[in-house]
Amino acid sequence: MLDALKHGRSNPSLQSTAYRATKPVLLAPAGSLAAAQVALEAGADAIYVGLKGFSRGGPRSELTSLALQDVLVAAHAQGRHVQVALNIIPSQAERRDLVEKVGELLGWGIDGVIVNDAGLLAELRSRYPKLSITASIGCAIMNEADVAFYRDLGADAVVLPGTLTPDEIAAFAQVPDVLIEVMSHMVQEFILLGRCWMPSYYRLNSSPMASQCEGVSRLMGSVKRGGAGVCFKICEQPWELYRGERCVATRLLPSRQISAINYLADILNAGVDVVKLQGRGLAADLLAPLVQRYRLAIDSWMAGEPLPAFAEPCLEPSWTVMRR
């Protein structure tokens, strides 16, 4: 449980004094109240949700304020925890609104936030010293120096991609005073997870620039700005491959499920504190078996028993494109 993690602030440098979990935490996604209920019933120790307007992912995976409060009530009644993903990269005006919103969320009883903007992370730590903050997978943490950097900014935990080896994770876990999360079930995309490399497709309708650039247009929006931009999922659309003037193939850009379920013991032995699952867009009927199998695996490891062998893939193949 997340309450097994001890958080505190001991000096102005804002370095975390979080200690290792005595038991791995299973952190499940929830894009709706129904999904949250299913995840808790399936054995998640904690869930993470998105808040409408402040979280990347769009309406299919974001909660309204009222729904978030309902989720908090349901989770806390069972002694479980709720983190809110605030994984947008805000403009200056949006940043002020977001920082104030976090204060409101704390009043509702949230147990922590997930962010992927370094400046926002540092500002939240300064403004809310006791707030639990996780550096999102979108921070692209790929080595020990990255872990230490985000710890020093004020992160209590960092999220690593599931493509790392147990030996790499073990090295990361040696960095003191920060918790290690691994996205143990995720989609491997043709780009770095959480970082869009197709900015020219953010909006297909151009908008005039400021007056000093009269007559010049630009494509507007940002995949990470909830209110200011929209992601049209260009990477999920069929692409046509041409040879000269002739179309020779139509295909989707590559993506596949990455699941650590069958070597989860190695990952847990490496010192992972939190086992995180991707999929705030998952329907409840798909989320339940995913959480259940990881619950079974973690419990087997805790009991010192061999982990069951699980069939792959965990979810239907279409999830890797349309349901992540």
Beta bridge partners of 247: 242
Q: Among residues 87, 86, 31, which one has the least CA distance to residue 60?
A: 31
Per residue in 31-80, pLDDT (tens digit) is 999 999 999 999 999 999 999 878 766 556 788 899 999 999 999 999 99
At residue 257, the pLDDT reads: 78
Tell me if 240 sits within 8 A of 249, measured CB to CB: yes
Classify residue 109 as left (phi > 0), alpha (psi -120 to 50) or beta.
left
Per residue in 230-281, pLDDT (tens digit) is 555 666 678 888 999 999 998 877 677 788 888 899 999 999 999 999 888 8
Is residue 12's pLDDT more than 70?
A: no
Least confident interval from 173-177, 198-202, 288-292, 316-320: 198-202
Is residue 124's pLDDT more than 70?
A: yes
Q: Is 250 exposed, middle or buried (0-12, 13-18, 19+ CB in 10 A)?
A: exposed
Please state, as a whole number, how many other Cβ atoms lie within 10 Å of the Cβ of residue 308: 11
Question: In angstroms, how far apart are the furthest CA atoms of the chain?
Answer: 68
Q: Among residues 206, 257, 200, 258, which one has the least CA distance to residue 234?
A: 200
Q: Which residue has the higher pLDDT, 198 or 13?
A: 198
- Position 171: which residue type? A
Q: Among residues 269, 149, 255, 140, which one has the least CA distance to residue 193?
A: 140
Per residue in 156-207, pLDDT (tens digit) is 999 998 888 999 999 999 999 999 999 998 877 666 555 555 554 444 444 4
Q: Is 221 helix (H, G, I), strand (E, B) or coil?
A: coil
The pair of structure tokens assigned to 222 is 């940002």
Domains of the chain: 2-193+256-322 (3.20.20.70)
Please state, as a whole number, how many other Cβ atoms lie within 10 Å of the Cβ of residue 317: 10
At residue 239, the pLDDT reads: 82
The pair of structure tokens assigned to 169 is 């994770």
pTM value?
0.81
Q: What are phi and psi of 259, to 5 degrees?
A: -130, 130
Is residue 27's pLDDT more than 60?
A: yes
